[in-house]
Structure 1
């Protein structure tokens, strides 16, 4: 006696409702937080960013030019950078980018991707649900690692009279850029995970694309500046530069609007490429 093999798309019992998209979101949410490393990595990295902000603000507080004439504007960008600087950005790239790769690569490594696609034959819907959950989690984490260090650092600097308020010009943009930098890197990591499908290789690829490539280009030449401005890290740096009065202006500077566009294009392109590749490529 032989039994006919059932296609996964038609193996549902009669009357069983088709999975709704919100069910996919709930499933991806559970899968993301079922990884024991997720809360630990996000929590510990957030503490590191806050500690770095406290350390930077304390250094500025201790070395403040007491008794000397100064302008408050001279310390405006310094006060912002004390709360979130390159160290915070590097941590965001590493944590969010790695999390993005693990979201999909962990399923390929464990073989769970076959069960997921058997339950949800619509691969594009499955990938889109992953991307939305990943975006929500990393955006919330990005807000945490940008807003908390900002308020902590400014509270310390307030003792020297140079602490800033969130309502000061450019402060909201500074915090928002740091917060949204996380989901951009996470979606880039997700895209690389779909393309490479190997844990170590995906993380290395994420490091090369987000960390290393931007160092090869400068604002000295027009063609080099165009490539540099198209990178997420360069876009974040431009958005973080609120006070340009005491800074070197390159020959081909990036614009604020262009930096926001870079964030949007990287996010949308990562999702578009991921959904296309997972829909067309065999497991």
Structure 2
């Protein structure tokens, strides 16, 4: 009687981190809505810069000589709050959907079977999200700056990058997108429910700062620790003085605002990495 020799199954090597990043990029790229969403976000932000610059172009003859000389409106037109609030909302919510969509469809079970290392999987999502939104943020910030200053140049009111605070404002506006996207991604991994995560992300980024003023020191300390307030401070080319207001204003420092930029996404992603490793799918 002969016995058959069975070949032992070959162990499948664990996926490399580069493979995980490539897989996450394929997931995002394969969605038809991704390019349309990014194009719409860019159009809204740059369009808001165009609208602000055109408005100041038309009002320019009525401005005081001091305002014209100091270019008090030029940097604001390059990075208007209305457009960049839309950017914050879009980046935060899409960053959240990057995670919550897999929980909603049940795809997360397949993903965790293929990649048991959940921490590495989430880190790959974070890398792809940060890279994608960094490119989007850089394109949008550069485009809004260039287009707005081209319009204002017709009144000889344009500024260049050597203007006080221009480079800082450009970098801060470009990084605003990945900061918000990573915050949304971290909240998505923690909450795992799309609607709840998007509401929480929107509230944290846009609504929560409104509950705190800069008139009292304790309240200003909380507000200055928000992403929205930090972006506004980094895009300012002046700081209000006591003579500019009837009440004292506790303005954030430049270094403190950069620190806020770094801490929000780092803490959100770090907490998500800890949680996904310890709980069931």
- Would the TM-score normalized by the shorter structure come out above 0.5? yes
2:41 aligned with 1:42, yes or no? no
Partner of 1:113: 108
Cα distance in 2 for partners of 1:262, 1:113 equals 31
Alignment of structure 1 residues 1-283 onto 2, 5 Å? 14=10, 16-65=12-61, 69-70=65-66, 72-76=68-72, 78-244=73-239, 250-283=248-281
Is residue 45–residue 84 contact of structure 2 (8 Å, CA) maintained in 1?
A: no
| CA RMSD across the alignment | 1.9
Alignment deviations for residues 30-72 of structure 1 (CA, whole Å, 9 cap, x no partner): 1112222211111111011111111111111111127974454
Q: State the Cα distance separating 1:28 from its structure 2 match.
A: 0.5
1:151 deviates by 0.4
Aligned counterparts of 2:19 and 2:51: Cα–Cα separation in 1: 44
Alignment deviations for residues 239-266 of structure 1 (CA, whole Å, 9 cap, x no partner): 0111337865953210000000000011
Q: Distance in 1 between matches of 2:93 and 2:223?
A: 22
5+ residue gaps, structure 1: 1-11
What is the TM-score with the length of structure 2 in the denominator?
0.91
SS in 2 for 1:210: helix
Deviation of the 1:277 alpha carbon = 1.0
Secondary structure of 2:157 counterpart: coil
C-alpha distance in structure 2 between counterparts of 1:280 and 1:15, whole Å = 26
The TM-score normalised by the length of structure 1 is 0.90
Aligned pair in 2 of structure 1 residues 181, 136: CA closer, same or farther (>3 Å)? same
**5+ unaligned residues in a row in structure 2: which ranges?**
1-7
Q: Cα gap change, 1:20/1:250 in structure 2, threshold over 3 Å: closer, same or farther?
A: farther
Q: Which stretch of structure 1 is more off in the superposition, 31-40 or 222-231?
A: 31-40
How many Å separate the matches in 1 of 2:86 and 2:137? 11
